[in-house]
Amino acid sequence: MEARSCIDRDPFLTSICRAVNQRDRMPGTLVVRDLNDAGWIDEFPGHYDVVAAVNALHWFEAGRATKVVEDVHGALRGGGIFLLAEPAHPERPFAAGFEEWKARQPPRYARENWERFWSRANALLGYDHTTLLGSRDGNRIGDDMSVAGWIRLLDQAGFGVIDVLLRDADQVVIAALKSNDPE
Ligand SMILES: C[S@@+](CC[C@H](N)C(=O)[O-])C[C@H]1O[C@@H](n2cnc3c(N)ncnc32)[C@H](O)[C@@H]1O
């Protein structure tokens, strides 16, 4: 049976999934939970065709992000796909040239816009969504991981066929296939 499930520790994000599922008359499990909890994947029994993570993994420390992706790998059926969209930064030797190019691209993201949007959303929601994002400091991956770094993380988590579907001045979209071969 077709279904679309969702996890986030912010109930606002899972309520967006609920609304989209209701609109599409699509069943699915909606879970409000911290992905730092070891047992999160137990909420999603079965074998999924596709799992997508959008702008979420860079909030984690690298070891935890790899473990979360290993859990995703285990939850996919053979031939299933993990789709990842995250910020990406060029490797150090290419950074200067890349920044020069990036400065000439139309800006896609502005921190002021982000803050304006979320302060309005926070006022409507009655709680501060941004505190659920986690700290911008510490050991989190952040915005500095290269495309090669994201590919390494997927490789370490067990994915074999990995491809970059899109890369712009800020972000990368990567697809990773779970092998059909028994492990
Ligand atoms: C930049 S937002 C992206 C949200 C959504 N994926 C999208 O693209 O619109 C990052 C999301 O990661 C979630 N997040 C961060 N740390 C988390 C954690 N430890 N457990 C669960 N969700 C987390 C935040 O609540 C937030 O909704």
- What is the reported pTM? 0.92
Q: What is the pLDDT of residues 12-65, one digit of tens each?
A: 999 999 999 999 999 999 999 999 999 999 999 989 999 999 999 999 999 999
Distance 133 CA to ligand 1 centre (A): 6
Q: Is the CB of 8 under 6 A from ligand 1?
A: yes
The best mutation among 5, 41, 59, 117 to test binding of ligand 1, ranked by most ligand atoms within 8 Å of the C-beta, falls on 59
Helix, strand or coil, per DSSP, at residue 102: helix
Q: What is the pLDDT of residues 96-107, one digit of tens each?
A: 999 999 999 987
Nearest-atom index, ligand 1, CA of 85: 8
Q: Is the CB of 36 under 6 A from ligand 1?
A: yes
Nearest-atom index, ligand 1, CA of 35: 20
Q: Token pair for residue 6?
A: 């969702």
Long-range contacts from 121-127, C-beta under 8 angstroms, 24+ separation: 121/12, 125/12
Helix, strand or coil, per DSSP, at residue 109: coil
Q: Token pair for residue 73?
A: 């790998």
Distance 128 CA to ligand 1 centre (A): 13
Q: What is the DSSP string of 109-138?
A: --HHHHHHHHHHHHHHHTS-THHHH--SST
| Residue that the structure tokens 């803050």 belong to | 115
Helix, strand or coil, per DSSP, at residue 50: strand
- C-alpha to C-alpha distance for 166 and 173, rounded to whole angstroms: 5
Q: Is the CB of 87 under 6 A from ligand 1?
A: no
Q: What is the pLDDT of residues 133-150, one digit of tens each?
A: 777 667 899 999 999 999
> Which residue's alpha carbon is at the smallest distance from atom 24 of ligand 1?
133
- The percent of the chain in helix, strand and coil, each rounded to the nearest 5, is 40, 20, 35
Nearest-atom index, ligand 1, CA of 10: 25
pLDDT band, very low/low/confident/very high, at 182 (cuts 50, 70, 90)? low
Buried b (16+ CB within 10 A) or exposed e, 159-178: beebeeeeeebebbbbbbbb
Residues 180, 79: contact at Cβ < 8 Å?
A: yes
